[in-house]
């Protein structure tokens, strides 16, 4: 076949390029279609303003504009950076198999969290991580940082290192082949990740039906169900990707019923969610199980329970999504 390459739009950061490269390879391997990467410069990449002023959406909207304008055919996003509101005319055609969604500690001298000295300075950008570090009640000093992954790693591992440790997404490190620097992968019971962390969203125009069908070959149903549950919780809380909201869903084989062949491959989804005040003094955590087909309902129901326990008073007016409340964390 002699088909024109599909144009995959991506931001130019190392992480974005790596993510797009993996998806391009997977698609070509599955379908034989060549894929060409098209770099899209977003307002977020051009600006030096803090991310909390710009809003994380600026990294996404230029890619979506390019999709709508037809200058690219599809785009790959870090799913956790997508606003919960849907965009008319666009469609998430695939959620590929999710990477490890857990957060990671990168500490000097190979230390784990428990081994850090009293007074150790830990850097991290996202409010949910700051809040959960405080909630541990350890004598740590938590300091906000931002920048791309290499910039953040340099603050612990570089010649001018000024921090004892940082916390960041393991998936980001893995995608740029730097998982070797992780000194501890944090247990989600202590450090619950961001909704959709480690997952990618492959997006195209809804009316591009051939491409919708082609990209669906990259979809991984359990990863999609997990992300749907986590993001339904986030949306119901009306919180943004930088709010102190955490969620993690696992899809697993359920208990065999023993009653017959059909019952033996029943899948179960287990969703855990948390809303934590930035100083860590208030920490509401709940979980819920159900079937993957009900992922969205499970997420909504868990959010409602969290709200009943006072999550709203933690999120407050500033905890909710909006241009003034975005994270001062990373740009990747």
Ligand X SMILES: NCc1[nH]cc(CCC(=O)O)c1CC(=O)O
Give the interface with ligand X as residue ranges (CB under 6 A). Answer: 78, 80-81, 168-169, 171-172, 197-198, 329-330, 332
- Closest-approach residue to ligand X (CB): 172
Tell me whether residue 81 is one of the annotated catalytic residues.
yes
Candidate list 81, 164, 208, 321, residue with the active-site label:
81
Q: How far is the CB of 104 from ligand X (least distance, A)?
A: 8
Q: How far is the CB of 100 from ligand X (least distance, A)?
A: 10
Q: CB burial class (10 A; 0-12, 13-18, 19+) of residue 282?
A: middle
Q: How far is the CB of 329 from ligand X (least distance, A)?
A: 6
Nearer to ligand X, 172 or 319 (CB): 172
Nearer to ligand X, 205 or 272 (CB): 272
Of residues 122, 184, 133, 186, the one with CA closest to residue 155: 122
CA distances from 166 to 123, 233, 284 (A): 5, 27, 24
Nearer to ligand X, 197 or 277 (CB): 197
Cα torsion 286, 303, 227, 246 to 10°: value is -60
Nearer to ligand X, 92 or 214 (CB): 92
What is the distance between the alpha carbons of residues 249 and 269, in angstroms, rounded to a whole number?
7
Q: Which residues contact 74 (CB under 8 A, 6 or more apart)?
A: 6, 7, 8, 9, 67, 93, 202, 203, 204, 211, 215
Q: How far is the CB of 80 from ligand X (least distance, A)?
A: 5
Residues assigned a catalytic role: 81
């Amino acid at each position: 076949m002699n088909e024109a390459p599909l144009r995959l739009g991506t931001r130019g950061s190392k992480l974005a390029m790596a993510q797009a490269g993996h998806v391009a390879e997977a698609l070509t391997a599955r379908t034989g279609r060549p894929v060409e990467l098209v770099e899209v410069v977003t307002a977020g990449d051009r600006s030096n303003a803090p991310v909390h002023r710009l809003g994380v959406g600026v990294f996404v909207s230029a890619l979506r504009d390019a999709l709508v304008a037809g200058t690219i055919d599809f785009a790959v996003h870090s799913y956790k950076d997508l606003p919960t509101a849907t965009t008319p005319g666009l469609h998430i055609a695939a959620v590929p198999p999710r990477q490890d969604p857990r957060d990671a500690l990168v500490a000097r001298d190979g230390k784990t969290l428990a081994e850090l000295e009293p007074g150790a300075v830990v850097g991290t950008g996202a409010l949910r991580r700051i809040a959960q570090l405080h909630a541990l009640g350890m004598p740590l000093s938590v300091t906000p940082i931002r920048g791309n992954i290499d910039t953040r790693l340099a603050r612990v591992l570089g010649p001018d290192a000024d921090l004892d440790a940082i916390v960041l997404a393991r998936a980001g490190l893995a995608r740029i082949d730097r998982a070797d620097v992780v000194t501890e992968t944090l247990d989600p019971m202590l450090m619950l990740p961001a909704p959709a962390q480690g997952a990618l969203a492959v997006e195209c125009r809804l009316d591009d039906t051939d491409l919708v069908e082609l990209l669906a070959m990259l979809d991984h149903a359990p990863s999609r169900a997990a992300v749907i549950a986590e993001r339904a919780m986030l949306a119901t809380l009306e919180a943004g990707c930088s709010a102190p909201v955490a969620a993690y869903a696992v899809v697993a084989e359920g208990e065999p019923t023993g009653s017959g062949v059909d019952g033996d491959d029943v899948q179960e989804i287990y969703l855990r969610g948390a809303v934590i005040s930035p100083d860590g003094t208030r920490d509401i955590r709940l979980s819920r199980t159900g079937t993957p087909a009900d992922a969205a309902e499970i997420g909504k129901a868990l959010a409602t329970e969290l709200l009943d326990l006072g999550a709203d008073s933690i999120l407050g007016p500033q905890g909710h999504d909006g241009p003034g409340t975005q994270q001062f964390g990373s740009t990747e």
